[in-house]
Amino acid sequence: MTDKIFQRPQSLKDVAFHYCPGCHHGIIHRLVAEVIDELGAGDKAIGIAPVGCSVLAYEYFNCDMFEAAHGRAPAVATGVKRVHPDALVFTYQGDGDLAAIGCAEIVHAAARGEKITTIFVNNAIYGMTGGQMAPTSLLGQVTNTSPYGRKEDGAGLPIRVSEMLATLDGTKFIARVAVNNPANMAKAKLAIKKAFEIQLKGEGFAMVEVLSTCPTNWGMTPLASSDWLETNMIPYYPLGTFKTPEGVLK
Amino acid sequence: MPRPVFNEERCKGCALCTKACPKKIIAISNRFNSKGYRPASCTDEAKCIGCSLCAKTCPDIVIEIHK
Amino acid sequence: MTEKVLMKGNEAIGEAAIVAGCRHYFGYPITPQTELTEYMAKRMPQVDGIFVQAESEIAAINMVYGAAGAGARTMTSSSSPGISLKQEGISYIAGAELPCVIVNIMRGGPGLGGIQPGQGDYFQATKGGGHGDYRNIVLAPNSVQELVDITILSFDLADKYRNPVMLLGDGALGQMMEPVEFTPSSSVVKEKPWAAGGMRGRTQPNIINSLHLQPEELEKHNIHLQKKYAQIQENEIRYEELYTNDAELILVAYGITSRIARSAIEKARSEGIKVGMVRPISLWPFPAAPLAKLAVSAHAFLTVELSAGQMVEDVRLSVNGAKPVYFYGRTGGMMPNPKAIYEQIINVMSGKGGK
């Protein structure tokens, strides 16, 4: 019997991911699943998948899952959690899902202090539909719908969702992390665990924003994408904790 | 002796593991898997320290670390 | 409650939902149904239920999707413009085969329209409203008592068929007060082994989903849905006939309009005019058969609606060209009085004909 130091977590099915080579969704799925395993919460976990590249998340997590309409996962999660207050209800959303079409739903679920946990994957672009501008796309970033580079005049400036939600008194834990290197990954896992613990303790709404790469639509190799994230995204989207149950930090 | 075990059919050749390994013993191989990707593999198992950083960096859970 | 209580339509719906076992209501204020939302805000905590005022009608229908998928009896309510907002959510609910009740207290449209009663959402309710090949079960009460009885029935039908059920009311029914009694359903609430409330010992996860990317799978799913709708058409047609045995002219009307039509018919009958009415109670499935049958004996049909003519198309389909189908309607919240409908009856009977 081989002793394994590292293997697939129980809360992830043994199914190949459809994600592009080097896409961080795979890493983030695994971290979420590891945390669910470590918290012993697999039996009462209910995940809500978004519309976006991770629309098929319901095929990967080994727990009850919902597919939600674009942007509506926090509302779906509200309905689920109100029926099963003891369940561990989490949404997993991209930047179009959460920060564009779903902006009202996330703001209000957070403001109401819904006892759910949101994993917000921010890769500054719309992946599934082939690389259009996202609310979190950077100034000057070239995308399919900002072919001349995002201009402030006309497209405005990117939204810092974590900072924005941290101003809502109803939120209990807001953190921004990244998974583009092992050190960041370790901190990301701690934040995700904390966010789930906030729910399990019945404290309130928690969100972890995970900066991610999109090698395919950024037009770079996975390794180059990790560097681009470090150089370009982190200065605009600083990593750290913005809200704890004790209050706003920044 | 720890060593990485690769499920080559799941590897997409993204090479993230090659940079994560502190011992620099992971490289993209020359062969193809059935999906047309060149899988990563370990070039010198004797040097593996079992840190699991390759496995943790892999987005596709290709790598298990066996003791 | 077994004694009769004087209640406003909107509030009676709320109490009926609670009698039916609904403990999860998600809504948003909109005239002329806001009293229902407010009633639930007051009553739900009293019965250990959940009331959420959602941030929009879109959020509310998605909360219903979540609660329904988690296994609860759940309801939302709105009026015409808000129901438009819910259409995507309703399509998802139908595609994922979830039970729920959606109440539409119709007002004038299109757009922001008006706040007076209307029946301009018939197409939206019965022909889809949302995208894709699905059907809502659509029920149209015409009294506050029917609002109660049909609300309770709606929860049973929703569970029985795992389908959204729409209660199509209007601003007049929502606002009027009539004595009602609440009789709980005799049906046993169905078990929901498919619900996603956490695995809790189950070995396989339950997935609530309407996405089927493989065309073969999506077609298979659609065929399955169509079989279900065929079953509903077999079993759930509801209507009422009034003086149709010897009627030469058949009025077709539902909801508040049927009440006004009835007054007109009574007046005409007192003068010996052979007029009757078919009142559809289920708008989908539509009672085509009784209309087709009456098309043999009757001379003509007159459809009356608070719209520019929506149900009349289904009446024409049912009559299938056998006899003329006339139409009389008012829009904008203008409600005909019995005299106006009586005059239409006279017109048709004397050969001058409505539209």
Among residues C205, C186, C235, C48, the alpha carbon closest in space to that of A49 is found at C205
- Residue-wise pLDDT for A99-135, tens only, equals 999 999 999 999 999 999 999 999 999 999 999 999 9
Average pLDDT over residues A187-194: 98
- Report the length, in residues, of chain C: 355
Nearest to B59 among A7, A22, A223 (CB): A22
Q: How many CB atoms lie within 10 A of CB C218?
A: 15
CB atoms B59 and A16 under 8 Å? no
Among residues C195, C209, C129, the alpha carbon closest in space to that of C159 is found at C195
Tell how far CA A28 is from the center of its chain: 8
Alpha-carbon separation of residue C218 from A161, C161, C196, C204, C298 (angstroms): 36, 19, 21, 22, 44
Q: Does B56 touch chain A (CB under 8 A)?
A: yes
Please tell me the predicted confidence (pLDDT) of residue C353: 56
- Residue-wise pLDDT for A62-81, tens only, equals 999 999 999 999 999 999 99
Domains of chain C by start residue, with CATH = 5-235 (3.40.50.970), 240-349 (3.40.50.920)
DSSP A146: B
- Each residue's pLDDT tens digit in chain C (355 positions)? 468 999 999 999 999 999 999 999 999 999 999 999 999 999 999 999 999 999 999 999 999 999 999 999 999 999 999 999 999 999 999 999 999 999 999 999 999 999 999 999 999 999 989 999 999 999 999 999 999 999 999 999 999 999 999 999 999 999 999 999 999 999 998 899 999 999 999 999 999 999 999 999 999 999 999 999 999 999 999 999 999 999 999 999 999 999 999 999 999 999 999 999 999 999 999 999 999 999 999 999 999 999 999 999 999 999 999 999 999 999 999 999 999 999 999 999 998 655 4
Taking the C-alpha atoms of residue C85 and residue C282, their distance in angstroms, rounded to an integer, is 23
Domains of chain A by start residue, with CATH = 25-248 (3.40.50.970)
> Pairing relation of β-strands A205-211 and A171-178?
parallel
Best A3, A6, A210 member to test B by mutation, with max B CBs in 10 Å, is A6
Class of CATH domain B3-66: alpha beta
- Residue-wise pLDDT for C299-314, tens only, equals 999 999 999 999 999 9
Nearest to A72 among C24, C62, C209 (CB): C62
Give the sign of the dihedral formed by CA C199, CA C91, CA C225, CA C100: positive
pLDDT band per the 50, 70, 90 thresholds, residue A250: low
CB atoms B20 and A20 under 8 Å? no
CB atoms C197 and A77 under 8 Å? no
Reported as type and span, the H/E element at residue C304 is: strand C300-305
The phi and psi torsions of A133 (rounded to 5 degrees) equal -65, 140
Characterize A221-231 residue by residue with b for buried, 16 or more Cβ atoms within 10 angstroms of its Cβ, and e for exposed: bbbebbebbee
**Residues in chain A closer than 8 A to C205 (CB atoms):** 61-65
CA angle C56, A198, C27 (to 5 degrees): 15
The phi and psi torsions of C128 (rounded to 5 degrees) equal 125, -75
Q: How far from each other are the two terminal CA atoms of chain B, in whole angstroms?
A: 6
pLDDT band per the 50, 70, 90 thresholds, residue A246: confident
Please tell me the predicted confidence (pLDDT) of residue C355: 47
Q: Does B20 touch chain A (CB under 8 A)?
A: yes
Q: Name the residue of chain A whose CA is nearest to C88's CA.
A: A69
Q: Are B52 and B27 in contact (CB under 8 A)?
A: no
- A222 residue type, one letter: P
Among residues C329, C342, C336, C331, the alpha carbon closest in space to that of C263 is found at C342
Nearest to A65 among C26, C71, C196 (CB): C196
| Cis peptide leading into residue C32 (ω within 30°) | yes
Reported as type and span, the H/E element at residue C76 is: strand C74-78
Q: In the block, which residue shows the tokens 């250990």?
A: C48
Q: What percent of chain B has pLDDT over 90?
A: 97
| Cis peptide leading into residue A222 (ω within 30°) | no
CB atoms B15 and A221 under 8 Å? yes
- B and C in touch (3+ CB pairs within 8 angstroms): no
Q: Does C92 touch chain A (CB under 8 A)?
A: yes
Please tell me the predicted confidence (pLDDT) of residue C354: 53
Average pLDDT, chain C: 97
Please tell me the predicted confidence (pLDDT) of residue B18: 97
Q: In the block, which residue shows the tokens 């009586």?
A: C342
Q: Are C327 and C248 in contact (CB under 8 A)?
A: no
Among residues A216, A208, A92, the alpha carbon closest in space to that of A161 is found at A208
Q: What beta strand segments (E) does chain B contain?
A: 3-6, 26-28, 40-42, 63-66
The radius of gyration of chain C's CA atoms, rounded to the nearest angstrom, is 21
> Pairing relation of β-strands C5-8 and C177-180?
antiparallel
Which ranges in C47-166 belong to alpha helices (H)?
A: 57-69, 80-85, 87-95, 122-126, 144-161
